[in-house]
């Protein structure tokens, strides 16, 4: 019944949005053909809604079989795991960060920095030692691994507590506007055993999960065609692919997912989240990081894992809004003129996908799927396969303007330090330094139009 109501609301939302004539809700009736195409941000997987279901609706073009599997995956995505042995959802821990997928990705969206940094949330630390391991894998910290766990079941000890200290810094725009930024410093407290003094810490916030199947289906050649490791065109933007080790397939593949493009498939990303975030074993990662003394591995079935993977692949993409509005169209021109589109490449096309709804779609994620040097201010100093400590993957921008509606906050970047889009732009450095400075020098009207454009995505 839940899925029927979700579907009904989505359909009605689309009808309402297509038939409203005001500037507040205009999907392109005043625009050109390219405006219409950009409005369909997810191609035929696009959902037309401005409500809090914008990130958690199934793609409308799914086959009946795929929709049925998606709905089962939806139910499993929300399951809360408990300490083993238990008759249902058994196997949490023994050390972990959270107890369900949905608690890290509320409404399939973006987590925020919790007021208590050690509370249950989508915030965690990646950790490792300097250097690179076999197959370029980050070097695990002995006794801790590569993801710090700040919770544990009864009878076990959590690995550590997290600590963040915020300081305030200012950026001044050309028109005199002062923007306050919050700068974090991250620490480890109360480790359960002695930590090496050279541990590298990379704080992370759980990102949205919609549209992932389309990103997975972009042909590798199309992504590599956007790379410019030697800056051959002289625009200051390079972009390199990350190549990562797939531990299940036992081969090196193009990285696509995660803040540093450090996983290659949604299967590895999902199974890794079960394993690292919740301590849940599967056919992909069949062994507990810590031995819990129980012979119950794998703790979730292949069927459950595969349906959750399909669920993440087949979530609809929310449409761009107000396409054709003169201020938003001007904002799009400003976006291009200050070279944001060099990394946040607007248009992509999927190739083959085993899920027919995802194949051969033209869509607008606003990402090149590549790594870029983002400057010292955003550096975590931690290598991740081919990504160095200053490089991050370009985040997709689709759906960004609906985050307040869906998740009740507007925190951005890998650790949630930016409290709005303006702050996120002002943290850009490295290859994006020139674009940031151009943003700072925009007139107030052009700056406002740019922000309106971004919030229309």
Q: DSSP letters along 390-435, please?
A: TEEEPPP-TTGGGHHHHHS---BSTTS-BSSHHHHHHT--GGGHHH
Provide the 10 A C-beta neighbour count for residue 222. 15
Q: Is a pLDDT exceeding 80 seen at residue 223?
A: yes
pLDDT digits (tens, 9 = 90+) for 168-220: 999 999 999 999 999 999 999 999 999 999 999 999 999 999 999 999 999 99
CA count, 13 A, side-chain hemisphere, 193: 7
pLDDT recorded at residue 2: 42
145 domain residue, yes or no: yes
pLDDT of 29 reads: 40
How many other β-carbons are positioned within 10 Å of the β-carbon of residue 188? 18
User: Would you state the pLDDT for residue 26?
Assistant: 41
Check residue 35 and give its pLDDT.
Answer: 66
pLDDT, tens only, 88-106:
999 999 999 999 999 999 9
Structure tokens at 62: 């799914």
| Distance from C-alpha of 163 to C-alpha of 249, rounded to nearest angstrom | 36
Q: What is the pLDDT of residue 288?
A: 87
* Contact by Cβ (8 Å): 123, 104: no
Residue 150's nearest CA partner among 97, 94, 204 is 97
Q: Could you tell me if residue 171 is inside a domain?
A: yes
pLDDT in tens, 228-267: 999 999 999 999 999 999 999 999 999 999 999 999 999 9
Q: Answer yes or no: are the C-beta atoms of 331 and 199 closer than 8 Å.
A: no
In a domain, 379, yes or no: no
Confidence of residue 24 (pLDDT cuts 50, 70, 90): very low
The mean pLDDT of 272-300, rounded to a whole number, is: 94
User: What gap in Å lies between CA 118 and CA 97, rounded to an integer?
Assistant: 9
Q: Which domain holds residue 114?
A: 74-211+263-299
pLDDT of res. 366:
98
Of 15, 12, 43, 14, the C-alpha closest to 361 is 43
Number of domains in the chain: 1
46 occurs within a structural domain = no
| Residue 283 to residue 290: CA distance in whole angstroms | 17
Note whether residue 374 is domain-resident: no
d(CA 334, CA 139): 42
Is residue 116 over pLDDT 90? yes
The confidence score (pLDDT) of residue 289 equals 82
Q: Which of 25-39, 59-73, 343-357, 424-438 has the lowest mean pLDDT?
A: 25-39
The 8-class DSSP code of residue 258 comes to: T
pLDDT of residue 27 exceeding 50, the answer is: no
206 in a structural domain: yes
Residue 139 is assigned to a structural domain of this protein: yes
Q: Is residue 101 within 8 Å of residue 118, measured between CB atoms?
A: no
Asked if 125 contacts 202 with a C-beta cutoff of 8 angstroms, the reply is yes
163 membership: H or E segment, kind and range: strand 161-172
Q: Is residue 377 part of a domain?
A: no
Q: For 130-173, what is each residue's pLDDT tens digit?
A: 999 999 999 999 999 999 999 999 999 999 999 999 999 999 99
Residue that is written with structure tokens 């980050």 in the block? 138
Strand 123-132 with 200-205, pairing: antiparallel
Contacts 24+ apart (CB under 8 A), 443-451: 443/175, 444/175, 444/177, 446/330, 446/331, 446/334, 447/173, 448/327, 449/327, 449/328, 449/330, 449/331, 449/334, 450/331, 450/334, 450/335, 450/338, 451/331, 451/421, 451/422
Burial state string for 248-276 with b = 16 or more CB within 10 A and e = fewer than 16: eeeeebbbbbbbbbbbbbbbbbbbbbbbb
What pLDDT does residue 290 have? Answer: 83
Asked if the model's pLDDT at residue 23 lies above 80, the reply is no
Using a 10 angstrom Cβ sphere, with 0-12 exposed, 13-18 middle and 19 or more buried, the burial of residue 348 is buried
């Amino acid at each position: 019944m839940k899925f029927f109501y979700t579907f009904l609301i989505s359909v009605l939302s689309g009808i309402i949005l297509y038939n409203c004539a005001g500037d507040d809700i205009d999907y392109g009736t005043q625009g050109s053909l390219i405006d219409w195409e950009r409005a369909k941000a997810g191609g035929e997987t696009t959902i037309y809604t401005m409500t809090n279901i914008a990130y958690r609706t199934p793609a409308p073009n799914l086959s009946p079989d795929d929709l049925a599997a998606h709905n089962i995956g939806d139910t499993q995505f929300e399951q809360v795991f408990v300490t083993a042995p238990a008759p249902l959802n058994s196997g949490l821990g023994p050390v972990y960060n959270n107890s369900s997928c949905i608690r890290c990705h509320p409404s399939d969206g973006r987590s925020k920095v919790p007021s208590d940094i050690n509370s249950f949330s989508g915030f965690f630390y990646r950790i490792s030692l300097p250097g690179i391991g076999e197959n370029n894998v980050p070097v695990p910290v002995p006794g801790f691994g590569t993801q710090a766990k700040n919770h544990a079941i009864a009878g076990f000890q959590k690995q550590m507590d997290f600590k963040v200290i915020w300081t305030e810094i200012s950026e001044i725009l050309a028109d005199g506007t002062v923007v306050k930024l919050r700068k974090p410093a991250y620490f480890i407290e109360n480790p359960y055993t002695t930590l090496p003094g050279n541990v590298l810490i990379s704080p992370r916030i759980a990102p949205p999960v919609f549209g992932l199947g389309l990103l997975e289906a972009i042909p590798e050649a199309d992504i590599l065609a956007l790379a410019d490791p030697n800056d051959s065109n002289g625009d200051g933007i390079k972009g390199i692919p990350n190549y990562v080790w797939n531990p299940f397939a036992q081969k090196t593949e193009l990285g696509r997912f995660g803040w540093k493009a450090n996983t290659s498939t949604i299967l590895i990303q999902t199974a890794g989240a079960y394993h690292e975030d919740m301590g849940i074993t599967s056919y992909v990662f069949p062994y507990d990081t810590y031995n819990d003394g129980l012979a119950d591995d794998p703790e979730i079935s292949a069927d459950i894992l595969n349906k959750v993977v399909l669920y993440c692949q087949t979530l609809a993409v929310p449409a761009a809004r107000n396409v054709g509005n003169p201020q938003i169209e001007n904002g799009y021109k400003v976006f291009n003129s200050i070279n944001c589109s060099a990394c946040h490449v607007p248009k992509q096309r999927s190739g083959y996908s085993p899920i027919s709804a995802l194949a051969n779609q033209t869509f607008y994620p606003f990402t090149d799927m590549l790594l870029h040097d983002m400057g010292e201010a955003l550096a975590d100093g931690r290598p991740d396969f081919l990504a160095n400590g200053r490089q991050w993957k370009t985040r997709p921008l689709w759906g960004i303007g609906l985050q307040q509606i869906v998740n009740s906050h507007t925190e951005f970047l890998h650790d949630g330090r930016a409290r709005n889009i303006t702050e996120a732009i002002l943290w850009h450095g490295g290859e994006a330094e020139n674009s940031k400075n151009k943003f700072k020098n925009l007139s107030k009207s052009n700056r406002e139009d740019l922000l309106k454009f971004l919030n229309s995505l």
